[in-house]
Structure 1
């Protein structure tokens, strides 16, 4: 049975609320990154580059709910892919900074949950970025519809974003951060990745569920 798209379209208040929450999430992530940068004072030590490079990708390109009314979709997709490549570069630099710092100080590598999950997250982000290639060059994915590829890419992107959020939360539990901030500041900082992850999860799932309903 084919339903009228007009009746299935969501109310304008939902769209405005989603847009407002997306803007707020961007602002929260930017403020969070600036605070981490001020706290770590990049350049003061080799370790100082690790929190900066690791939080910069998180704030620069949080995913937002897709919209069929957006124009220049292909251009925006390529810009998103370029930003993802820059994010991977930052993550690799952050990983290199902490690894070399541990090497210089004779400390073991990847012995904490933050270190193990952080390494996994960097690898997953790299794979997620490579997954955009079939979307840009659809001819490489024969037998797969563009809609299905976008749905899988959005789902994997959501999982990747959640991994980044958990990794950041574990980083906030590190001895360096807990010793640098007070108790109330710590809870406020922990709310930033937690709330942004919830907003992104709601936006992505709601958008693709709505799009799927329109197809029937």
Structure 2
């Protein structure tokens, strides 16, 4: 009786699900859903705050465009399923990524400026809520993340010894910054101002919209950058 060189492994049997047609279809649907959720949330916030009615109204508008749209799309365009905002070449994706992330930083800085100006005019204290404290932490993490990305653009000039390791740190810190922004946005929905404007089942809908892209982004980065161990027999 011939002896098989490869022993049966239930883990290997489970991994065959990746070749099943349902798996890539679900992944593609999840990425499409993440794009739709990010865009829908940004549009809904734009309609809700009615920009121009007050100085503060520009703050949630700028921040939603910065983190919910630009930052999310800047990460999702690297997904294996593709993005409507990217080229096929990797250099094209990197170029669009930097355009979106630069726009995100400009919008975040503008949103912060409107918030500070609104507080100063109303003579209200700063950093009095969890949302504001988390917002400062998120802005700091995003700025450091952008600095890390600049190092990847000029590795020879800055004499970076290990570019792959820096790329791993860049992706990991980027995930952390995006999750912090999602937590900050979620905290904003618990403020008195937001709960007074949105009530009932609609409030839960708003709560779920930014969470779904965060799950897709987290899955994308962990699958792309976490080290994978080869199966041995």
Normalising by structure 1, we get a TM-score of: 0.86
Query: Which residue of structure 2 lines up, in the alignment, with residue 59 of structure 1?
Result: 69
* Residue from 22, 26, 34 that aligns with 2:35: 26
* Residue from 3, 11, 16 that aligns with 2:19: 11
Matched, 1:173 2:183: no
Q: What is the alpha-carbon distance in structure 2 between the residues aligned to residue 154 and residue 212 of structure 1?
A: 16
Normalising by structure 2, we get a TM-score of: 0.80
**More divergent stretch after superposition (119-128 vs 137-146):** 137-146
Deviation at 1:116, TM superposition (A): 0.7
Matched, 1:145 2:162: yes
Deviation by residue 1:44-68 (Cα, 9 ceiling, x = unmatched)? 110100110011022233123555x
Residues 51 and 58, structure 2, Cα contact 8 Å, conserved in 1: yes
- Over aligned residues, Cα RMSD in angstroms? 2.4
1:60-79 mapped onto 2 (5 Å cutoff): 60-62=70-72, 63-64=75-76, 66-67=79-80, 71-79=88-96
Go from structure 1 to structure 2 and tell me whether the alpha carbon gap of 1:102 and 1:143 turns closer, same or farther (over 3 Å shift). closer
Q: Which has the higher contact order (CA 8 A, sep 6+)?
A: 1
Deviation at 1:143, TM superposition (A): 5.0
Structure 2: give runs of 5+ residues left out of the alignment: 1-14
Deviation by residue 1:135-178 (Cα, 9 ceiling, x = unmatched)? 22221453533322221111111000000000000011111110
Higher helix share: 1
Deviation at 1:16, TM superposition (A): 4.1
- Corresponding residue SS for 2:210: helix
User: Bigger radius of gyration, 1 or 2?
Assistant: 2
Query: Which residue of structure 2 lines up, in the alignment, with residue 133 of structure 1?
Result: 150
